[in-house]
Amino acid sequence: MGQAGWKGFFQSAFDYKTEKYVIAKNKKVGLLYRLLQLIILLYLVVWVFVIKKGYQDTDTSLQSAVVTKVKGVAYTNTSELGERLWDVADYVIPPQGDNVFFVITNLIVTTNQRQSTCAEREGIPDGMCSQDQDCQAGAPVIAGNGVKTGRCLQAGNSTRGTCEIFAWCPVETQSKPKKPLLRDAEDFTIFIKNYIRFPKFNFSKANVLETKNKGFLKSCRFGPNNHYCPIFRLGSVVQWAGSTFEDIALEGGVIGIHIEWNCDLDKAASECHPSYNFNRLDNKHAKSVSSGYNFRFARYYRDPAGVELRNLMKAYGIRIDVIVNGKAGKFSIIPTIINIGSGVALMGAVSTPPPTHCLSRVEKITGHILPCMVALPHAFIK
């Protein structure tokens, strides 16, 4: 670069440049311009700052712990079990009180099972037979209850029978009570204690009322005006989830209890409240052979001769999933400046002058010019 080039470069480095504005004295263009400014201003104030709280820093990394406890007793009198009182140790699984737990409402009980040989249950395809050759010794029955012994057991003069198996005998029957066994479970109570913390703001809270009154939790119940008494009646939870207790207790189901914490930490901590929502998580409308919720467990013991026995339970009931979500916000200068700057940039974009190549196309209107950057239809030009 020559001497003249360097001189021109240094001189231009200290030049001050301004934009050239063109005034279009047209009421319709001016109205459009002010309308765009008003829309941007409303967007910035109403949507960004009032609704979305764009002046706040947010924390969605909620830390949560849930402790649950079920209380209540039920009385039953059946041919399989006789008279029995059920308390929380009998019908709640697992007993630790986690955020997922199961309350038994119905049972199929097969008592006094022992390991021996018996006929496989009818209705299992791999357990059906017409001769001994159909029952390969040592082969497990697919989707069945035991291992084949090699014998085909036929009742009476029937040509079809079931394979003899080595299993826990007698095998489970499929007769299900027409009504829930633990009908009193509708009045069981569920205590859900939820601790939450937003680490960014070092803010912690629980969903239980802070009081020294020891009798508060013994007498209160959750309701629309009492969100700090998280003691729920099981029948009410089922109803709020859109189901009837009789239906879900008979075949089982899954209910979600959602706890939502949306906290504005610019206000007092007492203004941060939990909100609750209840819904049925399994597909209650599906007419399927796998509808409902159930599983099996056994209780083992020995007879006076030392032989191991067990009672097999096929339990139907209500699985409760406690799901916690939340978000906290607090004023911060950084997002405030960023959002104000974005709004100012949008306002500036509206008043940006047209590009140079566009100025070549003008219309003379009553002695004034209208730049073509605003692609207005001819109806606007009078």
The pLDDT tens digits for 113-145 are: 999 999 999 889 999 999 999 999 999 999 999
Is 189 annotated to bind a ligand? Reply is yes
**Fold exhibited by the domain 63-120+171-330:** atp-gated p2x4 ion channel fold (2.60.490)
Structure tokens at 77: 């009198």
Structure tokens at 59: 């924390």
**If you average pLDDT over residues 351-369, what whole number do you get?**
47
Q: Report whether pLDDT(301) > 60.
A: yes
Least confident of 13-27, 138-152, 256-270: 13-27
Is 211 annotated to bind a ligand? Reply is no
Q: Report whether pLDDT(369) > 80.
A: no
- At 24 the pLDDT is 67
Is 287 annotated to bind a ligand? Reply is no
Pinpoint the alpha helices (H) of 206-279.
216-219, 234-240, 245-251
**If you average pLDDT over residues 31-48, what whole number do you get?**
88
Report the C-alpha gap between 21 and 33 in whole angstroms.
14
Q: Report whether pLDDT(51) > 80.
A: yes
Least confident of 57-71, 94-108, 173-187, 344-358: 344-358
Report residue 178's pLDDT band, with 50, 70 and 90 as the boundaries: confident
Q: Report whether pLDDT(79) > 50.
A: yes
Is 336 annotated to bind a ligand? Reply is no
Half-sphere exposure of 302 (CA within 13 A, CB side): 5
Report residue 78's pLDDT band, with 50, 70 and 90 as the boundaries: confident
Is 327 annotated to bind a ligand? Reply is no
Is 294 annotated to bind a ligand? Reply is yes
Structure tokens at 275: 């909100």
The CATH 2.60.490.10 domain(s) of the chain lie at 63-120+171-330
- At 378 the pLDDT is 43
Is 69 annotated to bind a ligand? Reply is yes
Residue 268 φ then ψ, to 5°: -65, 155
Q: Are the beta carbons of 283 and 291 closer than 8 angstroms?
A: yes
- At 325 the pLDDT is 96
**Fold exhibited by the domain 24-55+332-381:** Helix Hairpins (1.10.287)
The CATH 1.10.287 domain(s) of the chain lie at 24-55+332-381
DSSP labels for 126-137? GGEESSGGGS-T
Is 49 annotated to bind a ligand? Reply is no
Report residue 366's pLDDT band, with 50, 70 and 90 as the boundaries: very low
Report the C-alpha gap between 107 and 315 in whole angstroms.
5
- At 358 the pLDDT is 46
Q: Are the beta carbons of 276 and 253 closer than 8 angstroms?
A: no
- At 303 the pLDDT is 94
Q: Give 18 or 353, the one with higher predicted confidence.
A: 18
Q: Report whether pLDDT(371) > 60.
A: no
Q: Report whether pLDDT(374) > 70.
A: no
Report the C-alpha gap between 142 and 150 in whole angstroms.
15
